Homo-oligomer: A and B are copies of this chain.
Amino acid sequence: MADRTQIQEAIKNQGEVVRKLKAEKASKEQIDEEVAKLLELKAQLGGDDGKHQFVLKTAKGTRDYNPKQMAIREKVFNTIISCFKRHGAETIDTPVFELKETLTGKYGEDSKLIYDLKDQGGELLSLRYDLTVPFARYLAMNKITNIKRYHIAKVYRRDNPAMTRGRYREFYQCDFDIAGQYDPMIPDAECLKIVHEILSELDLGEFRIKVNDRRILDGMFAVCGVPADKFRTICSTVDKLDKMSWEDVKNEMVNEKGLSEEAADHIGEYVSLQGGMDLAERLLQDQKLSQSKEACAGLSDMKLLFSYLQIFQVTDKVVFDLSLARGLDYYTGIIYEAVLTQVGVVPAPVSTEAQNGAAEETVSVGSVAGGGRYDGLVGMFDPKSRKVPCVGVSIGIERVFSIMEQKAEASAEKVRTTEVQVMVASAQKNLLEERLKLTTELWNAGIKAEVMYKKNPKLLSQLQHCEDSGIPLVAILGEQELKDGVVKLRTVATREEVDVSRAALIEEIKRRTSEI
């Protein structure tokens, strides 16, 4: 363990790094990242003077949401939840921790990223890693065979955070899943329709939804001569195609993973293909690929999927892309991923693997949603291994937050963090009781109203507060107004003032704020 002098030395060096970056006018992200390291080092030094010397920080890889961020978050959630509800989804919630064994064996290598709770006696517990495994546990436990549900909640991964790029150890997942034995591809198509609706409504710019099928991938690997035990690892290399050139991908396959060059070249031909229903039809005729029963089943379903997507009017954004290879082991059929294609809006290259319920995969720049079919997962929990077919999608909501926050930053319009309609104010002294009385009337009538907690606040500071927090109206009381039974109603934006009788005030405020 490092001793104090070592840490102090490290702090000095790190301080130097920060100073240099600032002098060089490096990017804000870069500076922030180095400052974070510096603060962490300082935190290690901890309390020296015996006094409670709290390290004032949140845990590594986590953040608070301030009121402005919460206002944006609420708006995004409302859009997404409205869509889920439009499609008839119910919602459930599960505990933040599960029995450790519930999570074990579901995430492959990434199990090391699971947060365990300390053994304090009793059960061994872990924080949930995604919402899909708890969902499967819930279905098996309650013997539910049919449900359409959404679940928006935080999940936890001890990953290397890159917070400036929207990657956290605590982050939201926003999942919609359809469980049940149905006719093929109808629920799958609805998931894609939902992605289309949500991304359109969030207005994040141009996007594309790539689809593929686990069975097509496996069939392709088989006919290209990939040994069965290398399917998964080759699959995860293919998945890097959106970030690496084909040469690099091939190199990894051949030199790191020991695939024959011939097999790699075969794969290379397939994974360059993109199209729609036509491509599925063409591949069904492909001499090699059609030899795989699995691939054929996947391709036929792909055709069917596109026929439904046409009806749902979403084929403009959907592309059948053989290079899409999401990493999670539990996918059994169709898989998909939505990416933003307008790179301008997007921050620096971002890996959002953490956000899309994807574990081993690496995700392209701008990935904002992903999912697929997983027909075997619920069966892993059922004592009799009864299967409940499932298909679902996860919205990469943290990415969406980042983009919306950037947009808000760039826009002239102010993000309001309260919904207050009117401030009850006074220009004169000794009117606290009258202000409170009027505020009570307004609250009791359902009006969102604020009053300063001061006996004699200055009018200017009351008006300033309205400017700062975007309160549109001020109800001003004075001796004269009280005598006349009126209130001076001021519009903050225009500074217009008009006397309104106390009896008509509530209606007038409602009328004015419904216009805004």
Contact = CB atoms under 8 A, between A and B. Distances in A.
Interface of A: 3, 5-6, 8-9, 12, 16-17, 20-21, 23-24, 51-60, 62-67, 70-71, 73-74, 85-99, 101-102, 104-105, 115-120, 122-123, 125, 127, 137-138, 140-142, 147, 149, 154, 156, 158, 170, 178, 180, 182-183, 186-187, 190, 193, 197, 222, 228-229, 231, 308, 311-313, 380-381, 383, 385, 417-420, 432-433, 436-437, 440, 443-444, 446-450, 453-455
B120 A119 contact: no
B64 A138 contact: yes
Contact of A91 (B67, B89, B450): B67
Nearest to A95: B62
Given A51-B385, A66-B92, A74-B91, 5 more contacts: A54-B101, A59-B99, A65-B92, A87-B448, A88-B420
Closest 9 CB pairs of A and B: A20-B228, A182-B453, A67-B90, A9-B105, A62-B95, A5-B104, A88-B450, A65-B93, A116-B118
A383 B120 CA distance: 32
Nearest to A3: B104
A461 B64 CA distance: 48
Contact of A54 (B24, B102, B229): B102
Given A93-B65, A449-B86, A381 B420 contact: no
A437 B20 contact: no
A381 to B, nearest CB: 5
Q: Which has the most chain B C-beta neighbours within 10 Å: A51, A59, A62, A98?
A: A59
7 contacts: A51-B385, A54-B140, A56-B381, A60-B122, A96-B170, A183-B455, A197-B443
Nearest to A17: B229
Main secondary structure, interface of A, reads mixed
Given A70-B90, A123-B59, A380 B105 contact: no
Given A59-B99, A105-B52, A446-B86, A228 B383 contact: no
Contacts of A453: 178, 180, 182-183, 186-187, 190
Contacts of A90: 67, 70-71, 417-418
A123 B419 contact: no
A301 to B, nearest CB: 14
A381 B455 CA distance: 30
Nearest to A445: B86
A436 B95 contact: no
Contacts of A3: 104
Given A92-B65, A141-B56, A436-B311, A119 B122 contact: no
B193 A443 contact: yes
